[in-house]
Every structure is written in structure tokens, then in C-alpha cells.
């Protein structure tokens, strides 16, 4: 008999994280649910225990606060039952680059990049030691497209993609599966929380459809899963172009076009 590992999900109180919790509970995994809103986490935990007969712990944490972040890191380092991290907690941005207040920039980067990176770094050594486990980082299609105008949010999501690709290169030879999931607009509270009306968008994916598609990618052990991308070869072409560019980088000399004419 194999024991299913426990899954720790950040941002599990609503939206994408709450659906991940439901799906992993359905698959028989015990869970640790992390977010700030303890009453919502408790209600979800009670329902999942009741429906799926799994063990569900709740850990209240504001991941932008050092002490709370350190407590979740400690859990990931020390709890040997946890074999999968769903690094999902995140927030969006409203307004343009020039309108952002310093504390809002700080919070956005702290949650979407610093916390996500520290949590992955907290669990990775133990998974490496075990030679197994999975880390799922939730990015966004916005991280591929500065054209969307959510510059700081998009930059945090570009970071998530790069981080995941680098983690994959370093950790997959040691038996760790790393997945970056890049949703596009999905119907969750993130829009309202950022002061945007989701109903003003021309197209929005249902959150259940998004997570189910992400889990198809997870089960296939895909590195980058982009549920709304209809033509998979587009991603392959982008990645191929990037690698082609690298083959034309020469470290020793500037390119001819930058050489002084004098």
C-alpha cells in the first residue's frame, strides 16, 4: 500500500487554491490549508474532512508578515508528511505603474515573489533528501505580456515562470517535479480584491475548469502548463526562440553593431 503525501496549499481560502484543495482531497490526500481568513479555511476544512474523509489542518498566515511566513516555512521544513506544495497565494494590481504606492508595491512583490520563493526553498531540501515530491507555482499569462499593462504584477509572474524553469533544471534530476501554471483571466475574487470588475472582461475561465486543466498538466508532469493556450506549439516556438537567442550570445566580445566607429 502506498501512502499519499500531504499537500500544503497557500491561498486556499478562495478561488484557485480552494479548488485545488477540493481536488486533492477528492484524490485522497491529507491537506494543510494556508491563508489569512481562518474562518473560511475552517469551513472549507470541515467540509473536506466530512466529504472526503481526509485529515485537513489549517494554518492561518499572512505571508507578507515575517513571523507568519517563517512559521509556514518551518512547517514545510519539518513536516515529513508534506510531499507537495501548491504555491498559489497571490494578489493582483490595479492602476498603472506611476500610480502605485510604495507599500502596495512592497506587498505585491512580498506575496507574489518573496513568499513563494521562500516557501519553495523551505521544502526543497527535504524533498531532495527524499528524492520525491512536487512544487507547483501559480504564475500567469500576464507574466508573458507586458502589453496587458499590469506591469508590476506581470513582472512578479514573469519571476514565477523563470524561477520554476530554474528550479526544474536543478531539482528534476533529484526526483522533484516542478510545475508552473499560467492561467489567464479566471473567475475568482482576485479581480474584486484589486478593485476590478471581472464582468467587464470579454472572456473569463471558470475556476473549476482552470484547476482541472492544470491537474491534467500535473498528472502529465508538464513543466509549464498554460490552460488557456489553445495551440501548444506556440509555447514550444517561444521557448525554442529563446534557446536560439542564447546560441548567438558570445561572452567575450560586443556584437559588431556596438563596436566603436572611431
Ligand X SMILES: NC(=O)C1=CN([C@@H]2O[C@H](COP(=O)(O)OP(=O)(O)OC[C@H]3O[C@@H](n4cnc5c(N)ncnc54)[C@H](OP(=O)(O)O)[C@@H]3O)[C@@H](O)[C@H]2O)C=CC1
Ligand Y SMILES: N[C@@H](C=O)C(=O)O
Q: Which of residues 4-63 bind ligand Y (CB under 6 A)?
A: none
- Residue 142 near ligand Y by CB under 6 A: yes
Q: Which of residues 54-93 bind ligand Y (CB under 6 A)?
A: 92
Q: Is 153 a catalytic residue?
A: yes
111 binds, among ligand Y, ligand X, none (CB under 5 to 8 A by kind): ligand X
Q: Which of 140, 156, 179, 225 binds ligand Y (CB under 6 A)?
A: 140
Q: Tell me whether residue 15 or residue 83 sits nearer to ligand Y (CB atom).
A: 15
The nearest distance, CB 146 to ligand X, in angstroms, is 15
Query: Dihedral angle at the C-alpha atoms of 35, 38, 41, 46, nearest 10 degrees?
Result: 160
Q: How many CB atoms lie within 10 A of CB 140?
A: 28
**Nearest to 155, CA basis, from 138, 168, 173, 142:** 142
Q: Tell me whether residue 91 or residue 229 sits nearer to ligand X (CB atom).
A: 91
Binding map of ligand Y across residues 191-230, x = CB under 6 A, - = no contact = ---x------------------------------------
Binding map of ligand X across residues 70-99, x = CB under 6 A, - = no contact = ------------------xxxx--------
Alpha-carbon distance 230 to 109, whole Å? 30
Q: Do the beta carbons of residue 171 and residue 124 sit within 8 Å?
A: yes
- Residue 16 near ligand X by CB under 6 A: yes
Residue 195: CA atoms inside 13 Å, Cβ hemisphere, count?
Answer: 4
User: Helix or strand or coil: residue 85?
Assistant: strand
**Nearest to 60, CA basis, from 50, 49, 70, 68:** 68
Q: Do the beta carbons of residue 198 and residue 185 sit within 8 Å?
A: yes
Q: Catalytic residues, which ones? A: 153
Q: Which residues here bind ligand X, judged by CB under 6 A?
A: 11-17, 35-37, 40, 61-64, 88-91, 111, 138, 140, 183, 185-186, 188-190, 193
Amino acid at each position: 500500500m502506498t501512502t499519499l503525501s500531504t499537500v500544503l496549499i497557500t491561498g486556499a481560502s478562495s478561488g484557485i487554491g480552494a479548488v485545488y484543495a477540493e481536488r486533492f482531497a477528492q484524490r485522497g490526500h491529507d491537506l494543510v490549508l494556508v491563508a489569512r481568513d481562518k474562518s473560511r479555511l475552517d469551513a472549507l476544512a470541515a467540509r473536506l474532512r466530512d466529504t472526503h474523509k481526509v485529515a485537513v489542518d489549517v494554518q492561518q498566515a499572512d505571508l507578507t508578515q515575517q513571523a507568519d511566513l517563517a512559521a509556514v516555512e518551518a512547517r514545510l521544513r519539518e513536516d515529513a508528511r508534506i510531499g507537495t506544495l501548491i504555491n498559489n497565494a497571490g494578489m493582483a494590481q490595479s492602476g498603472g505603474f506611476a500610480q502605485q504606492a510604495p507599500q502596495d508595491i512592497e506587498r505585491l512583490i512580498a506575496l507574489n515573489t518573496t513568499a513563494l520563493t521562500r516557501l519553495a526553498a523551505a521544502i526543497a531540501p527535504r524533498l531532495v533528501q527524499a528524492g520525491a515530491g512536487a512544487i507547483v507555482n501559480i504564475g500567469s499569462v500576464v507574466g508573458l505580456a507586458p502589453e496587458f499593462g499590469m506591469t508590476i504584477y506581470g513582472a512578479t509572474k514573469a519571476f514565477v515562470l523563470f524561477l520554476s524553469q530554474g528550479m526544474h533544471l536543478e531539482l528534476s534530476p533529484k526526483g522533484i517535479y516542478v510545475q508552473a501554471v499560467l492561467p489567464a483571466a479566471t473567475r475568482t475574487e482576485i479581480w474584486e480584491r484589486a478593485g476590478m470588475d471581472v464582468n467587464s472582461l470579454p472572456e473569463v475561465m471558470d475556476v473549476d475548469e482552470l484547476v482541472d486543466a492544470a491537474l491534467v498538466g500535473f498528472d502529465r508532469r508538464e513543466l509549464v502548463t498554460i490552460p488557456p493556450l489553445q495551440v501548444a506549439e506556440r509555447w514550444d516556438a517561444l521557448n525554442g526562440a529563446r534557446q536560439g537567442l542564447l546560441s548567438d550570445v558570445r561572452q567575450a566580445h560586443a556584437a559588431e553593431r556596438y563596436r566603436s566607429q572611431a
